[in-house]
Amino acid sequence: MSKRLQVILQDEDADELSEAARADGVTVSEWVRQMIRRARSEKPAVDTARKLAAVRAAARHSFPTADIDEMLAEIERGYSSN
C-alpha cells in the first residue's frame, strides 16, 4: 500500500531538489524516496546516549584478566588441544 505525502517547500528549496533529481536522472518523487531510505539506513540502530550508558555500565565492573601474551598463549593452547 502506498501513502501520499505533501511537503511545502520554499521555491529555492524546490528548485534545488529538482536540480538534484535531474542530475541523478530520476523524478523528484524517486529522489526523495531514495534520500529517505538512505537517511533511515544511516541512522544508528541505538541512540548515542544509550550506547554511552552501556559503556559506562560495563566500565563500572572489574573482572580478573591476564597479560595479553598469556591470554594469547592460552588461546593457542586451546586451539592445539582440539
Condensed to tens digits (0 to 9), the pLDDT of residues 18-47 reads 999 999 999 999 999 999 999 988 887 778
Please state, in angstroms and rounded to a whole number, the distance separating the CA atoms of residues 6 and 28: 13
pLDDT of residue 3: 92
The per-residue pLDDT for range 50-80, each reduced to its tens digit, is 889 999 998 898 887 888 999 999 999 998 8
Does the pLDDT of residue 82 top 70, yes or no? no
Contact 18, 28 (CB under 8 A): yes
Give 55's DSSP letter.
Answer: H
Residue extents of the structural domains in the chain:
11-81
Q: Calculate what percentage of the chain has a pLDDT beyond 70.
A: 99
Answer whether 26's CB lies under 8 Å from 34's CB: yes
Instruction: Enumerate the H helices of 1-82 as residue ranges.
Output: 11-24, 28-42, 48-59, 68-81
Residue 81: pLDDT band (50, 70, 90) is: confident
